[in-house]
């Protein structure tokens, strides 16, 4: 499993670190299926609406299509101050 640092934007997890992954993805607890069935994957999606604007560390497996982090587990959530620092350092906002 890989650990990702990012922020929640528009209900998606925007990966900031590691830098080679540049996208905003959704999180699912589901183990990556052999056939991508969006309905099944979405049933296990982690709701990030309460974390909007916050920084967090997520552990999981990023799919090749870079749309989902599978087997996702939120390891830690930053508070308002830490989230602002993460945005300034990594995004420049």
Query: Does a cis peptide bond (omega within 30 degrees of 0) precede residue 86?
Result: no
Enclosing domain of residue 68: 2-91
Round to whole Å and give the CA distance between 18 and 41.
24
Would you say 27 and 13 are in contact if contact means Cβ atoms under 8 Å apart?
yes
* Backbone dihedral angles phi then psi of residue 51, each to the nearest 5 degrees: -105, 10
CA distance to 1, 24, 88, per residue, from 92 (Å): 28, 17, 4
Q: What is the pLDDT of residue 35?
A: 67
pTM: 0.88
pLDDT-derived band of residue 34, with 50, 70 and 90 as boundaries?
low
pLDDT-derived band of residue 6, with 50, 70 and 90 as boundaries?
very high
Segment (H or E) for 83: helix 80-86
- The domain tally of the chain equals 1
Q: Which residue has the higher pLDDT, 92 or 35?
A: 92
């Amino acid at each position: 499993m890989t650990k990702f640092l990012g922020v929640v934007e528009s209900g998606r997890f925007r990966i900031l670190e590691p830098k080679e992954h540049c996208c905003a993805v959704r999180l699912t607890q589901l183990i990556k299926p052999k056939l991508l069935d969006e309905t099944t994957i979405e049933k296990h999606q982690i709701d990030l609406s309460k974390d909007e604007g916050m920084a967090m560390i997520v552990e999981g497996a990023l799919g090749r299509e870079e749309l989902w982090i599978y087997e996702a587990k939120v390891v830690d959530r930053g508070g308002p101050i830490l989230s602002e620092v993460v945005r300034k350092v990594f995004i420049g906002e």
